[in-house]
Amino acid sequence: MKILVTGSNGQVGSSLVKQLNQMPDVEFLAVDREQLDITDGAAVAKLVNEFKPDAIINAAAHTAVDKAEQEVELSYAINRDGPLLLAQAANTVGAAMLHISTDYVFAGDKDGEYLETDATDPQGIYGQSKLAGELAVAVACPRHIILRTAWVFCETGNNFVKTMLRLAQSRDELGVVCDQFGGPTYAGDIANALIVMAKAISKGNQSFGIYHYSGLPHVNWHQFACEIFSQAKSQGLLNKEMSVNALTSDQYPTPAKRPINSKLNCNKIQDYFGIQSSDWRAALIRIKEYL
């Protein structure tokens, strides 16, 4: 099969490239923002018509949550308009469209895990623009998969794990929020899930729609940080004990409101595609690769 990957330099995008390179049965084309501006309709249509993929996996996004509050037009251009153009092009050539979304489409105030069918209510520009992208993709390409995920990390790019390890080099004490809960998700596992779904669709699986995919067990940011430092110390990357102070969201204000509850129920993706939740603790065993 043929797969077009956009956003190839991001965390999920680079993970997709790494894994697809090991699959001789898949022909793929991976592009970053310099090679394809997904908000340029003519460029998108030209590339898709020439390559004629069986599936487009859109890993491009404006994910700077706080900056999005000021960069409204840019957020909507990348998170809504670009996915719309990709989905329209996918529909034209008969390709499936796989699009990554986020826990930020929810208000984050539910008790318990969020289901795919729960009402959306994004609280900031990032979540609002990502929800607009979901709706645009669904309308433009009936053969779509929207994969909502959360708390993404891997060896490349900017993420919480790398930030904690960097700060530990110069500090002995940190404050980390303890009242926001979710599932850390390894980008390599997201990439694998997307590839499994794309291959299943190419073989006739018609289970299109919205799916949740994130890591287990659910934790808060403070617990996640403590596990990161524990792994780093046990593997010889830290020669000291880090003091991690628990903060409330009120004690750590940010321009964009964070969801208090980002727990995603991932039963549907397991039922329809046999995909297990991300084991984020297993991903931290390779923590040396994050430095």
Listed residue (25, 21, 26, 24) closest to 2, CA to CA: 26
Q: Are 136 and 91 in contact (CB under 8 A)?
A: no
* Structure tokens, 281: 């603790």
d(CA 67, CA 6) in angstroms, rounded, equals 22
Active site residue 126: yes
Residue with tokens 């940080």: 225
User: Of the residues 126, 186, 211, 290, which is catalytic?
Assistant: 126
Task: Give the DSSP H or E segment for 107.
Answer: none
CA distances from 213 to 14, 37, 100, 273 (A): 18, 27, 10, 12
What is the spatial distance between Cα 62 and Cα 80, in angstroms, rounded to a whole number?
10
- Give the burial string for 50-75 (b: 16+ CB within 10 Å, else e): ebebbbbbbbbbbbebeebbebeebb
Calpha distance 164→51 (Å, rounded): 41
Query: How many angstroms separate the CA atoms of 17 and 79, rounded?
Result: 21
List the catalytic residues: 126
